[in-house]
Amino acid sequence: MASDGRFCLEPAPLADREAIELAHDPEYVSAFLEGTLSAPAIRRIGFPWSEELVQRTMASVGSTLAATKQALANHWGGTLAGGTHHAFRAEGSGFCVFNDIAVAAQWLRTNNRANRIAVIDLDVHQGDGTAQIFRDEPNVLTLSVHCEVNFPFRKQQSKIDVSLAEGVGDAEYLRTLEETLSRVFEFGPEFVFYQAGADPLYSDALGKLKLTHAGLIARDRMVMEAVRERGSPFVITMGGGYSKPIENTVLAHFEPPRKFLGSDESDSQEGQGEQTGRCRAYEVNRIVIHPSTAFDGRADQAVNNGAKEPR
Protein backbone atom coordinates (compact mmCIF):
# COMPACT_ATOMS: atom_id res chain seq x y z
CA MET A 1 0.00 0.00 0.00
CA ALA A 2 2.85 2.38 0.83
CA SER A 3 4.24 1.96 -2.70
CA ASP A 4 0.85 2.73 -4.29
CA GLY A 5 0.79 6.39 -5.28
CA ARG A 6 -2.91 6.68 -4.48
CA PHE A 7 -2.34 6.29 -0.73
CA CYS A 8 -0.65 8.42 1.87
CA LEU A 9 0.07 6.46 5.06
CA GLU A 10 0.33 8.58 8.19
CA PRO A 11 0.88 7.78 11.88
CA ALA A 12 -2.36 7.90 13.83
CA PRO A 13 -2.97 10.92 16.05
CA LEU A 14 -4.02 10.21 19.63
CA ALA A 15 -7.68 10.76 20.48
CA ASP A 16 -8.37 13.10 23.36
CA ARG A 17 -10.38 12.16 26.41
CA GLU A 18 -13.25 14.52 25.56
CA ALA A 19 -13.83 12.74 22.26
CA ILE A 20 -13.78 9.31 23.92
CA GLU A 21 -16.40 10.44 26.44
CA LEU A 22 -18.82 11.27 23.63
CA ALA A 23 -19.52 7.52 23.47
CA HIS A 24 -18.20 6.15 26.78
CA ASP A 25 -18.97 6.55 30.46
CA PRO A 26 -16.51 9.07 32.01
CA GLU A 27 -15.88 6.83 35.04
CA TYR A 28 -14.92 3.92 32.79
CA VAL A 29 -12.67 6.18 30.71
CA SER A 30 -10.93 7.43 33.85
CA ALA A 31 -10.45 3.94 35.27
CA PHE A 32 -8.86 2.70 32.06
CA LEU A 33 -6.60 5.71 31.53
CA GLU A 34 -5.45 5.65 35.17
CA GLY A 35 -4.99 1.88 35.36
CA THR A 36 -7.59 1.31 38.07
CA LEU A 37 -9.96 -1.10 36.28
CA SER A 38 -10.84 -4.19 38.28
CA ALA A 39 -9.20 -7.52 37.47
CA PRO A 40 -12.45 -8.94 36.00
CA ALA A 41 -12.78 -5.86 33.76
CA ILE A 42 -9.23 -6.32 32.49
CA ARG A 43 -9.83 -10.03 31.85
CA ARG A 44 -12.94 -9.19 29.83
CA ILE A 45 -10.90 -6.85 27.63
CA GLY A 46 -8.29 -9.58 27.10
CA PHE A 47 -5.13 -7.46 27.33
CA PRO A 48 -3.11 -6.73 30.49
CA TRP A 49 -3.20 -3.02 31.35
CA SER A 50 -0.09 -0.91 30.66
CA GLU A 51 0.80 2.58 29.52
CA GLU A 52 1.55 1.09 26.11
CA LEU A 53 -1.98 -0.27 25.91
CA VAL A 54 -3.34 3.20 26.73
CA GLN A 55 -1.27 4.73 23.91
CA ARG A 56 -2.29 1.99 21.49
CA THR A 57 -5.97 2.42 22.35
CA MET A 58 -5.95 6.21 22.02
CA ALA A 59 -4.14 5.92 18.68
CA SER A 60 -6.66 3.38 17.41
CA VAL A 61 -9.59 5.70 18.16
CA GLY A 62 -7.59 8.68 16.90
CA SER A 63 -7.02 6.93 13.59
CA THR A 64 -10.75 6.50 13.00
CA LEU A 65 -11.45 10.10 13.98
CA ALA A 66 -8.75 11.27 11.55
CA ALA A 67 -10.17 9.06 8.79
CA THR A 68 -13.63 10.52 9.49
CA LYS A 69 -12.34 14.07 9.04
CA GLN A 70 -10.56 12.96 5.86
CA ALA A 71 -13.84 11.53 4.54
CA LEU A 72 -15.64 14.81 5.16
CA ALA A 73 -13.02 16.57 3.03
CA ASN A 74 -12.39 13.96 0.32
CA HIS A 75 -15.38 11.62 0.43
CA TRP A 76 -13.60 8.68 2.07
CA GLY A 77 -10.93 7.74 4.57
CA GLY A 78 -9.49 4.54 5.96
CA THR A 79 -7.62 3.24 8.97
CA LEU A 80 -5.34 0.24 9.38
CA ALA A 81 -6.81 -0.25 12.83
CA GLY A 82 -10.15 0.27 14.53
CA GLY A 83 -13.34 -1.70 14.22
CA THR A 84 -13.31 -2.30 18.00
CA HIS A 85 -17.01 -3.13 18.09
CA HIS A 86 -17.10 -5.20 21.31
CA ALA A 87 -16.47 -2.13 23.48
CA PHE A 88 -19.64 -1.09 25.35
CA ARG A 89 -20.42 2.31 26.79
CA ALA A 90 -19.06 1.42 30.24
CA GLU A 91 -16.84 -1.63 29.70
CA GLY A 92 -14.49 -3.27 27.24
CA SER A 93 -14.61 -6.77 25.81
CA GLY A 94 -12.99 -9.05 23.25
CA PHE A 95 -9.72 -7.10 22.75
CA CYS A 96 -11.73 -3.86 22.46
CA VAL A 97 -11.29 -1.04 25.01
CA PHE A 98 -13.05 1.92 23.36
CA ASN A 99 -15.45 1.74 20.43
CA ASP A 100 -13.76 3.84 17.75
CA ILE A 101 -16.68 3.86 15.33
CA ALA A 102 -19.12 4.90 18.07
CA VAL A 103 -16.77 7.71 19.12
CA ALA A 104 -16.42 8.95 15.53
CA ALA A 105 -20.17 8.76 14.94
CA GLN A 106 -20.83 10.79 18.08
CA TRP A 107 -18.15 13.31 17.05
CA LEU A 108 -19.96 13.81 13.73
CA ARG A 109 -23.30 14.30 15.47
CA THR A 110 -21.98 16.57 18.22
CA ASN A 111 -20.24 18.81 15.70
CA ASN A 112 -23.25 18.90 13.36
CA ARG A 113 -21.31 17.29 10.51
CA ALA A 114 -23.81 14.46 10.05
CA ASN A 115 -26.92 13.35 11.87
CA ARG A 116 -28.12 10.14 10.20
CA ILE A 117 -25.28 7.62 10.33
CA ALA A 118 -25.09 3.98 9.25
CA VAL A 119 -22.64 1.41 10.62
CA ILE A 120 -22.19 -1.58 8.31
CA ASP A 121 -20.47 -4.25 10.39
CA LEU A 122 -19.46 -7.35 8.43
CA ASP A 123 -17.11 -8.85 10.98
CA VAL A 124 -17.99 -12.49 11.67
CA HIS A 125 -18.75 -11.60 15.31
CA GLN A 126 -21.76 -9.44 16.18
CA GLY A 127 -21.02 -5.76 16.81
CA ASP A 128 -22.57 -6.02 20.26
CA GLY A 129 -20.91 -2.95 21.78
CA THR A 130 -21.95 -0.70 18.89
CA ALA A 131 -25.49 -2.07 19.08
CA GLN A 132 -25.68 -1.37 22.83
CA ILE A 133 -24.29 2.18 22.57
CA PHE A 134 -26.81 3.17 19.87
CA ARG A 135 -29.72 1.00 21.00
CA ASP A 136 -31.96 3.98 21.79
CA GLU A 137 -30.64 6.35 19.10
CA PRO A 138 -33.00 6.40 16.09
CA ASN A 139 -30.61 8.38 13.89
CA VAL A 140 -27.82 5.78 14.00
CA LEU A 141 -28.53 2.57 12.11
CA THR A 142 -26.43 -0.42 13.16
CA LEU A 143 -26.21 -3.42 10.83
CA SER A 144 -24.41 -6.58 11.91
CA VAL A 145 -24.04 -9.61 9.64
CA HIS A 146 -22.41 -12.33 11.72
CA CYS A 147 -22.19 -16.04 12.48
CA GLU A 148 -24.97 -17.06 14.84
CA VAL A 149 -22.96 -19.62 16.83
CA ASN A 150 -19.94 -17.40 17.47
CA PHE A 151 -18.84 -14.90 20.10
CA PRO A 152 -20.48 -12.96 21.66
CA PHE A 153 -22.78 -15.65 22.98
CA ARG A 154 -25.05 -13.07 24.61
CA LYS A 155 -26.08 -11.00 21.61
CA GLN A 156 -27.31 -7.39 21.72
CA GLN A 157 -30.04 -5.97 19.51
CA SER A 158 -28.74 -4.07 16.48
CA LYS A 159 -31.18 -2.09 14.35
CA ILE A 160 -30.62 -4.83 11.74
CA ASP A 161 -29.15 -8.20 12.76
CA VAL A 162 -28.47 -10.96 10.26
CA SER A 163 -27.38 -14.20 11.94
CA LEU A 164 -25.82 -16.73 9.58
CA ALA A 165 -25.48 -20.44 10.17
CA GLU A 166 -22.06 -21.97 10.61
CA GLY A 167 -20.42 -22.88 7.30
CA VAL A 168 -22.21 -20.34 5.06
CA GLY A 169 -20.21 -19.72 1.88
CA ASP A 170 -19.95 -17.10 -0.84
CA ALA A 171 -23.27 -17.51 -2.67
CA GLU A 172 -25.59 -17.42 0.33
CA TYR A 173 -23.58 -14.69 2.06
CA LEU A 174 -23.56 -12.37 -0.94
CA ARG A 175 -27.24 -12.92 -1.67
CA THR A 176 -28.13 -12.11 1.94
CA LEU A 177 -25.90 -9.03 1.99
CA GLU A 178 -27.38 -7.65 -1.22
CA GLU A 179 -30.89 -7.96 0.21
CA THR A 180 -29.83 -6.35 3.48
CA LEU A 181 -27.91 -3.37 2.09
CA SER A 182 -31.05 -2.00 0.46
CA ARG A 183 -32.54 -1.63 3.96
CA VAL A 184 -29.49 0.32 5.11
CA PHE A 185 -29.77 2.87 2.32
CA GLU A 186 -33.53 3.22 2.70
CA PHE A 187 -32.57 4.77 6.05
CA GLY A 188 -30.87 7.61 4.13
CA PRO A 189 -27.48 7.79 5.89
CA GLU A 190 -25.47 11.00 5.61
CA PHE A 191 -22.29 9.15 6.60
CA VAL A 192 -21.33 5.45 6.48
CA PHE A 193 -18.83 3.47 8.55
CA TYR A 194 -17.77 0.06 7.23
CA GLN A 195 -16.23 -2.43 9.66
CA ALA A 196 -14.55 -4.72 7.13
CA GLY A 197 -13.67 -7.72 9.27
CA ALA A 198 -11.55 -10.37 7.54
CA ASP A 199 -12.72 -13.20 9.77
CA PRO A 200 -15.53 -14.59 7.55
CA LEU A 201 -12.69 -16.19 5.55
CA TYR A 202 -12.65 -20.00 5.31
CA SER A 203 -9.14 -20.03 6.81
CA ASP A 204 -10.01 -18.03 9.93
CA ALA A 205 -9.35 -19.95 13.14
CA LEU A 206 -12.35 -18.40 14.92
CA GLY A 207 -14.69 -17.40 12.10
CA LYS A 208 -16.88 -20.45 11.36
CA LEU A 209 -17.96 -19.11 7.94
CA LYS A 210 -16.52 -20.28 4.62
CA LEU A 211 -16.02 -17.25 2.38
CA THR A 212 -13.25 -17.48 -0.19
CA HIS A 213 -10.94 -14.57 -0.98
CA ALA A 214 -13.03 -13.95 -4.10
CA GLY A 215 -16.17 -13.90 -1.98
CA LEU A 216 -14.66 -11.44 0.47
CA ILE A 217 -13.59 -9.15 -2.39
CA ALA A 218 -17.12 -9.36 -3.83
CA ARG A 219 -18.49 -8.43 -0.38
CA ASP A 220 -16.30 -5.35 -0.18
CA ARG A 221 -17.09 -4.33 -3.74
CA MET A 222 -20.83 -4.65 -3.08
CA VAL A 223 -20.65 -2.34 -0.06
CA MET A 224 -18.42 0.20 -1.76
CA GLU A 225 -20.44 0.36 -4.96
CA ALA A 226 -23.59 0.92 -2.89
CA VAL A 227 -21.89 3.78 -1.07
CA ARG A 228 -20.62 5.30 -4.32
CA GLU A 229 -24.10 5.24 -5.81
CA ARG A 230 -25.51 7.19 -2.85
CA GLY A 231 -22.56 9.60 -2.52
CA SER A 232 -22.26 9.28 1.26
CA PRO A 233 -18.92 10.04 2.96
CA PHE A 234 -17.41 6.74 3.94
CA VAL A 235 -14.83 5.34 6.37
CA ILE A 236 -13.31 1.84 6.22
CA THR A 237 -11.88 0.29 9.36
CA MET A 238 -10.26 -3.05 10.01
CA GLY A 239 -11.96 -5.68 12.11
CA GLY A 240 -11.14 -9.19 13.26
CA GLY A 241 -8.97 -11.66 11.43
CA TYR A 242 -7.24 -14.78 12.74
CA SER A 243 -6.46 -16.80 9.65
CA LYS A 244 -3.90 -19.55 9.53
CA PRO A 245 -1.74 -18.60 7.72
CA ILE A 246 -1.98 -14.98 8.88
CA GLU A 247 -1.07 -13.78 5.37
CA ASN A 248 -4.68 -14.48 4.38
CA THR A 249 -5.86 -11.92 6.92
CA VAL A 250 -3.27 -9.35 5.81
CA LEU A 251 -4.37 -9.70 2.19
CA ALA A 252 -8.05 -9.41 3.14
CA HIS A 253 -7.47 -6.22 5.13
CA PHE A 254 -5.44 -4.72 2.29
CA GLU A 255 -8.08 -5.24 -0.38
CA PRO A 256 -10.96 -2.89 0.64
CA PRO A 257 -9.18 0.48 0.14
CA ARG A 258 -7.59 -0.75 -3.09
CA LYS A 259 -10.96 -1.86 -4.39
CA PHE A 260 -12.57 1.45 -3.48
CA LEU A 261 -10.10 3.34 -5.66
CA GLY A 262 -9.72 0.58 -8.24
CA SER A 263 -6.75 -1.76 -8.07
CA ASP A 264 -6.35 -2.57 -11.74
CA GLU A 265 -6.91 -0.96 -15.11
CA SER A 266 -10.54 -2.01 -15.43
CA ASP A 267 -11.38 -0.75 -11.94
CA SER A 268 -9.58 2.55 -12.35
CA GLN A 269 -11.64 3.50 -15.39
CA GLU A 270 -15.02 3.39 -13.72
CA GLY A 271 -17.00 5.23 -11.14
CA GLN A 272 -14.25 7.07 -9.32
CA GLY A 273 -15.41 10.67 -9.57
CA GLU A 274 -14.49 12.43 -6.35
CA GLN A 275 -12.75 9.34 -5.00
CA THR A 276 -9.62 9.79 -7.13
CA GLY A 277 -6.40 11.24 -5.77
CA ARG A 278 -4.18 10.47 -2.82
CA CYS A 279 -6.10 9.15 0.15
CA ARG A 280 -4.85 8.77 3.69
CA ALA A 281 -4.76 5.55 5.68
CA TYR A 282 -3.79 5.99 9.30
CA GLU A 283 -1.43 3.34 10.61
CA VAL A 284 -1.71 1.92 14.09
CA ASN A 285 -1.30 -1.76 13.35
CA ARG A 286 1.53 -4.22 13.37
CA ILE A 287 2.92 -3.16 9.97
CA VAL A 288 4.11 0.32 10.96
CA ILE A 289 2.83 0.67 14.48
CA HIS A 290 2.62 3.97 16.34
CA PRO A 291 2.95 4.25 19.23
CA SER A 292 2.16 0.70 20.30
CA THR A 293 5.07 -1.53 19.29
CA ALA A 294 4.91 -3.31 22.64
CA PHE A 295 1.61 -4.91 21.57
CA ASP A 296 2.82 -6.27 18.24
CA GLY A 297 1.11 -9.65 17.82
CA ARG A 298 -0.43 -9.72 21.33
CA ALA A 299 -3.98 -10.41 20.11
CA ASP A 300 -2.82 -13.25 17.86
CA GLN A 301 -0.87 -14.68 20.78
CA ALA A 302 -3.99 -14.57 22.93
CA VAL A 303 -6.01 -16.39 20.27
CA ASN A 304 -3.33 -19.03 19.87
CA ASN A 305 -3.54 -19.56 23.64
CA GLY A 306 -7.25 -20.30 23.38
CA ALA A 307 -8.88 -16.89 23.86
CA LYS A 308 -12.64 -17.00 23.30
CA GLU A 309 -13.31 -13.29 22.80
CA PRO A 310 -12.05 -12.16 19.36
CA ARG A 311 -12.51 -8.73 17.91
pLDDT tens per residue across all 311 residues of the chain: 666 666 677 888 999 999 999 999 999 999 999 999 999 999 999 999 999 999 999 999 999 999 999 999 988 888 888 999 999 999 999 999 999 999 999 999 999 999 999 999 999 999 999 999 999 999 999 999 999 998 998 999 999 999 999 999 999 999 999 999 999 999 999 999 999 999 999 988 888 999 999 999 999 999 999 999 999 999 999 888 878 888 888 777 776 656 555 544 334 333 333 343 455 656 543 222 222 322 233 343 333 344 444 55
Residue 145 lies in a domain: yes
Structural domain includes residue 159: yes
Q: What is the CATH number of the domain that holds 190?
A: 3.40.800.20
Rounded Cα distance between 190 and 101, Å, is 15
Would residue 303 count as lying in a domain? no
pLDDT of residue 110: 97
For residue 304, being part of any structural domain is answered with no
Domain annotation covers residue 233: yes
Q: What is the pLDDT of residue 55?
A: 94
**Orientation of helix 247-261 relative to helix 213-230, angle to 10°:** 30
In-domain check, residue 172: yes
Please state the domain count of the chain. 1
2 occurs within a structural domain: no
Give strand pairing partners of 280.
Answer: 8
Quick check: is 307 in a domain?
A: no
Pairing between β-strand 7-11 and β-strand 279-283 as defined by DSSP bridges: parallel
How many residues in total does the chain contain?
Answer: 311
State residue 218's pLDDT score: 94
Measured between alpha carbons, how far is 287 from 310 in angstroms, rounded to an integer? Answer: 20
The predicted pLDDT at position 245 comes to 81
- For the chain, how many helices (H) and strands (E)? 11, 8
Which residue segment(s) compose the domain that 121 sits in? Answer: 7-298
What is the value of pTM for the model shown? 0.84
